[in-house]
Each structure stands twice: as structure tokens, then as C-alpha cells.
Amino acid sequence: MIIPPLRNDLAVSPDGLLSFRHTKYLEEIARNINGIGALFTADNELIIGSDQFPVDKVVLGSNGETNTAPRSTLTATVTDASGTDVHATDFILRTGRSTGAAAGTSLKLQTSIPSGSGSALQAVQTMIELLEAKLAFFGGTPVAQPTGYTQTYATTTRTHNNLTSSTLSDSSGGTANTTVQALTDPADTPATADALRDDLVANLIPELRNNFADLTAQVNNLRTDITNLKDLFNQVIDDLQGYGLLA
């Protein structure tokens, strides 16, 4: 597109904004932006490209795709509101719609990844991708939202408490394993009280001690497991908060 010198037809505001005093240049610009033969389907519509002049890439900035001194920031926005309690314009960003059973389209947010010193352009990486009703982060494969959880236990809290249990000290004198053993019945007709005591000491009491040791060991193991789950849950919360997905 070649636009003749604008001379007095162009006004520049103190903040650098341009305005045209005549419409002939706007028509020339519109003809090239909209594309010759572009079909409008609604009022207040801007179409970039046409079948005759398709556009596959739009570069915003200065001096083409690359520049030795590019501008540091580019802001794309819509008109702000003015006045009391005036709702501003919503902004919708979406991909083109397929038809019928064709695959849906993808929207990707990419950033550049620093590399070694030099003049070569950095590689780009997809950080967020939306595909149909799926979502992915950090270059992963987009996945659908998981099915809902069944929460038969309805109580919730936002306070992650410290453990209230304590590690048990095993003074039972028994030997712990993973089986609570059967208890031997005392002798039916001990000859003396000493004989009954000897029978209990030899059979029932060691078995009770072992069972107490078993329970103590397993309670402590459960406490270790719960501590690990709490640590893991904390880390999951921290990670999601770091990504801004949780407050």
C-alpha cells in the first residue's frame, strides 16, 4: 500500500495520536486492510484480508517483524467508559469456528525462551493452550475438565491445621509385626496362684504386649502417612497459588 504525502491532511495530537482531515486516505487504508472483495456480514465490522488478498500474519509494533530497538510495551485495549457508573466495553477473544463435525480450533499463548548470547531469535514456547473444551499449561497436551468429585463428607475448611496427634512411645516390651495375634486362654485349673501367674506370664501377657506393640507401630505408621499427605497437600496448594489458580 502506498499512501501519498499527507501534508496538511494529517493532524498529530500532543500525545502522538494521528487523525485525518480528509477521508480519501482512510478509504485507501480501509481498502487494503479490509481486502479487495472482502465480504462484510454486519455493521461496525472490520475485516482484515480477503480471498484475493489473504492475511496469514499480523505484526504490531514498529518497522516490520524485527527491529534493533523495538518498543518495550504494546497495549491492546478497548474504549474506557466515561461518566458516573458507566459500564465499559467487554472484550471477547476467540478462534474461528469450524462447521459440523470438524475438529475445533486452538488458541495458544506463547512466550520467548532466553538462550545463549547472540543475535539469533529466541525459540517460542506455548505456555497456555485452549483447544475445544480443553486446557493445557506449559506446553502440555490439552485435557478436558475432570469429572466432579463426590463429596459425601461435606465439611470444609480453609485452615490447614497442624497435627494434633503425637508419636507413641512403645514401652509394652512386645515385638511389633503386622499381625494382631490370638490370645491364649489361661489354664482352666491351675494348681496354685503361682501356677496361674506363671501361665499368664508365659503365654497371655507376651501376646498382649506384642499386640499393643503392633497397634503402636501401626498408629505411628499412619501418623507418618498422614504427615506425608498433609505435606503433599500443602505443596499442591502452594503450586496452584504460585500459578495464580488459587488465592
Kindly report the pTM of this predicted structure. 0.66
Query: Is the pLDDT confidence value at 38 over 60?
Result: yes
More confident position, 62 or 235: 235
Query: Is the pLDDT confidence value at 8 over 70?
Result: no
Give the mean model confidence (pLDDT) for residues 140-150: 85
Distances (CA, A) of 217 to 156, 159, 166, 207, 224: 30, 29, 13, 15, 11
Which is nearest to 47 in space by CA: 61, 57, 33? 33
In whole angstroms, give the CA distance from residue 26 to residue 18.
12
Query: Is the pLDDT confidence value at 42 over 50?
Result: yes
Over residues 205-215, the pLDDT tens digits come to 999 999 999 99
CA dihedral (237, 242, 243, 245) positive or negative: positive
Task: Find which of 17-31, 54-68, 71-85 is predicted with most confidence, using mean pLDDT.
Answer: 71-85
pLDDT on residue 166: 83
| Cell numbers representing residue 7 in the block | 501534508
How would you class 215 by CB atoms within 10 Å of its CB: exposed for 0-12, middle for 13-18, buried for 19 or more? middle
pLDDT on residue 37: 65
Query: Could you tell me what percent of the chain has a pLDDT over 90?
Result: 34
Give the mean model confidence (pLDDT) for residues 15-39: 55
More confident position, 141 or 246: 141
Domain ranges of the chain: 1-53, 106-112+122-146, 168-247
Which is nearest to 108 in space by CA: 64, 142, 60, 145? 142
pLDDT on residue 30: 55
Give the mean model confidence (pLDDT) for residues 142-162: 82
More confident position, 41 or 214: 214
Query: Is the pLDDT confidence value at 11 over 60?
Result: no
